[in-house]
A and B are shown apart, each in its own frame.
Chain A
Amino acid sequence: MNVRVIPLFALLAAAWPLAALAQPESSATAPATAFPDGREIMEQVEEYQRATSDSAFNRMQLSTCRFGVSENRITCAERPRVKALESVGKNYGPEGLDSRAVTIVLEPADERGIGLLSYVYDDADRQNESWIYLSALGRVKRIASGNSDEESEAASLFGSEFTTEDMDTGKLDQYEITVLEESTEGGREVWVVELLPNEARARETRYGRIVNYIDKERHVALRTDLYDHYGNGVKRMLASRVELLDGIWMARSATMMNLITNRLSNMAVIEIYTGIDVDDEVLTQRMLTDAAFRETQLQSIRDQVE
């Protein structure tokens, strides 16, 4: 059994490249020195992420709080709300560029059993799809989260600062990717890579500019700054606990700070496993509606990893 990354988290860590934006507020200028190709850097980051999200099972803790500044450091200004999640994911498509994931809430008690099924497509012409199961509705409900206009924002992930758009992968063709400079982040040498969405992508995203700080050696996004279409910083993602798992570096903790609402969410990947046997039917709507099937499948997966 290989211990690796989680689909959801992998998506998070690699998602920033994908998030899109409208018009470049400060378009990149040609670098003064010869930098590697930004597209190649991002493809490498994505490749790592895909490798860690295929046939993967993970347990996560999603914590959200209002943040403030204490002793010149960001900290929670209130007791965080915590959700415990389990997620199963698998890559699809001829080249494994599409992905499917189902995430189930374990805690808190009054949200137990809520499930989210997501299909993410690499093809820019295909809109990602999501379904949610709420016991109050008694049925599966499709979620419209296509971000059809630039003023809208993608659906939140279980009420956190992470959105479905933040989880997108692929669609690199829709971006102009430039290496802005070399720098350091958290004591690590990084490439600062800017992604500017093309016109089509700009219509579908809240983000007008994405700046990734990619660890040169480990190909992990240590920090991502997300700007709106007017050049204002709206979110920042910080990754930590970067660990080498089965030959691939990955961050097991990602914190998304919303600079508008002063709230943050942390996604902690407590346990991550890849290379597990995941039945295709696990990644269908049956997993949401058929409780006996869901619990049996999850138990089977838990038995695999334990």
Chain B
Amino acid sequence: MTVGSLISGRGWWNALLLCLLPLSAVAQPADDPAPADEFELDLGFDDELFADAFEEDGDEREESWLDDFTVRISQQVFGQVNRHTLELPPGFSFPREPMIESNRLGVNIRYQNLFANGWLLQASGQSRIYWNEDYEYIANGDRIEEESRINEFFVQRSFGSHSVKLGNQTVVWGETVGNSVLDVINIAEFRDFTIIDIEDARLNQPMLVWDYFSENSGSFSTFLTLYPEFNPAPVRGSPLFFDPGYHLPDYERNGDILFEVGSQWRYSIERSDFAVMAAYLIENQLRWEPPRPGARDSLAKKNDFVLLGFSANRAIGDMLLNFDLAYSHGILANSFSLPGTTGLSAPVDLEKNQIGTSFGLEYSISNEQNVSFGVAAQKLLDLNEGLPAGPLMQNDDFFGNWLVRYSNSLLDGDLVLSSTIFGDLEGDSLLGQFGVDYTIDDNWSISSQIVAISGKIPSPMVFFDEDLRLGATISFSF
């Protein structure tokens, strides 16, 4: 199978083949030796089996400027395969036909260079080429579309107990992996269902970060950004795009200098790490209000608030407990929405205080199998205080989400089976994902995944109810 064959219009056959490839690859031994299922403890062992390691003289290897680069080239095919009808009462139904949503070639490049003592330059970027049948290709008038983006781009200076980083980078708060209520510093883009993990969707922002590492008092970290960004609006034509009938513009800064600033103190004791943090933030998700009469653009509004947080973990044998607590002061109500959606419900400009918590549990069943569970819940305090007659709050009680992940690592990690179930606390939506990742060798890897969705009103996921998505990606890294 070649990358080129994946680019053709018959993407589904390719996707199926890709899904089957890992299994065939596993079944195919690379050499002749008989399996050692009749293993005898006293069989001989060839001491020289790994002698090559000692024969290669690392000092003789010529260093190259290319050593600072890591490159991954990948081709992905992904689409909705279940033919069904979407019932949206009252009396509305939409047919859902199988279709390819993603058919794209990607190049990810990462660069890291210690260019002087204590100085580091780090950058990463990606380019995408959208082939036929990709939603970007269709949105571009059935023409091949190209897109490039710089992710990380920062200079770091470390000296003594200090470290200063300036440029596009990531700040992650909170312990709970996947759905922490404190992981709200960086923006994220959930453009389609090929990305369902926050770790993959997080985007970098321009920041100044100062870290101080104390010998006995933990570490202290402060960030400042003078150009806060907002979650990108869903791309027109993408699976997560819902056409509201008007434009969703960027935030109009009008020369105003916006900023976000925050600090975290982190400390470790035996079996536990904990942190406290405080920040002034602008919510990553913009609020889009319906346009004024006669206008085509909606009104994009920001939502700034103060965040106080606490996080901790505790290792108990093979189990790791994670806990996050967030208190948001002065946050605008009615502006919370699932990632990738637009929060289009009529907003009430009512400042509220909100408390949120996330709890996670990770457990190693065995050396190969891990299971984790996470739940995040938030609640607006004094919910109806100040609410005029008529409007209702979007979330009238606890709201949030939960997820369960399971992974089974086989062949010393070369084959990983994983599954994630994600839902909201109200029980209105459920997303199930099953993935297979197979590392063929040090360069080639292949992955495939199946995503099934169930949703009902009022969840935005109702638009994807009964959808079944299947896809595969083949990658070459060097």
Contact = CB atoms under 8 A, between A and B. Distances in A.
A, B in one complex: yes
Given A79-B30, A292-B156, A145 B318 contact: yes
A147 B365 CA distance: 10
B50 A268 contact: yes
B35 A240 contact: no
Contact of A255 (B36, B41, B50, B213): B50
Interface stretch (A27-35, A69-77, A87-95): A69-77
Contacts of A306: 59
Contact of B58 (A163, A257, A271): A271
A53 interface: no
Interface string A269-306: 01100000000110011100111110110010000001
A68 B36 contact: yes
A141 interface: yes
Interface stretch (B249-257, B406-414, B425-433): B406-414
A225 B47 CA distance: 17
Nearest to B45: A74
Contact of B319 (A66, A144, A151): A144
A61 B202 contact: no
A73 B43 contact: yes
Interface stretch (A3-11, A40-48, A152-160, A191-199): A152-160
Interface stretch (B266-274, B287-295, B453-461): B266-274
B205 to A, nearest CB: 12
A146 B316 contact: yes
Interface stretch (B8-16, B82-90, B117-125): B117-125
B389 interface: no
Given A63-B50, A74-B36, A285-B268, A142 B412 contact: no
Contact of A270 (B54, B118, B363): B54
B163 A156 contact: no
**Most central of A80, A144, A154, A161 by chain B CB within 10 Å:** A144
A66 B50 contact: no
B412 A79 contact: no
A290 B211 contact: yes
B70 A109 contact: yes
A137 B362 CA distance: 15
A233 interface: yes
Given A149-B317, A153-B367, A70 B442 contact: no
A259 interface: yes
B24 interface: no
Contacts of A61: 50, 53
B412 A161 contact: yes
Interface in A124-182: 126-127, 129, 136-149, 151-156, 159-161, 163
Nearest to A151: B366
Contact of B50 (A112, A113, A266, A290): A266
A263 interface: yes
B382 interface: no
Chain A: interface size category: 35 or more
Nearest to A236: B41
B114 A299 contact: yes
Contacts of B364: 144-145, 152, 155
Contact of B31 (A77, A112, A253): A77
B1 interface: no
Nearest to A61: B53
A246 to B, nearest CB: 19
Contact of A263 (B44, B200, B411): B411
B213 A284 contact: yes
Contacts, number: 229
B244 interface: no
Nearest to B55: A270
B439 interface: yes
Contact of B72 (A74, A110, A147, A238): A110
B394 interface: no
Interface in B154-179: 156-158, 163, 170-172, 177
Contacts of B371: none
Contacts of B34: 68-70
A152 B177 contact: no
B418 to A, nearest CB: 14
A266 to B, nearest CB: 4
A127 B271 contact: yes
B43 A126 contact: no
Contacts of B38: 69
B163 A293 contact: yes
A235 to B, nearest CB: 11
B441 interface: yes
B37 interface: yes
Contact of A77 (B35, B157, B219, B363): B35
Given A69-B34, A268-B54, A270-B58, A295 B39 contact: no
B45 A73 contact: yes
A241 interface: yes
Interface string B194-223: 000001101000000001010100010000
A262 interface: yes
Contacts of B318: 144-149, 152
A211 B152 CA distance: 51
A229 B125 CA distance: 51
B477 interface: yes
Contacts of A293: 118, 158, 163
A16 interface: no
A245 interface: no
A216 interface: no
A154 B317 CA distance: 10
A238 B45 CA distance: 9
B49 to A, nearest CB: 6
A69 B247 CA distance: 67
Interface in B424-478: 439, 441-443, 445, 477-478
A109 B67 CA distance: 9
B286 to A, nearest CB: 23
B147 interface: no
B50 A70 contact: no
Contacts of B37: 262
Contacts of B32: 70, 77
Contacts of A109: 70-71, 442, 477-478
Interface string A110-129: 10110000000000001101
In the complex, the 7 A-B pairs of residues with the closest C-beta atoms, listed nearest first: A148-B317, A68-B33, A159-B413, A78-B30, A292-B120, A268-B53, A144-B320
Given A149-B318, A153-B367, A255-B50, 10 more contacts: A69-B36, A69-B43, A78-B30, A79-B31, A127-B271, A152-B364, A225-B41, A266-B49, A284-B213, A291-B120
11 contacts: A61-B53, A66-B29, A67-B33, A74-B44, A75-B33, A127-B315, A151-B366, A259-B39, A289-B211, A292-B120, A292-B158
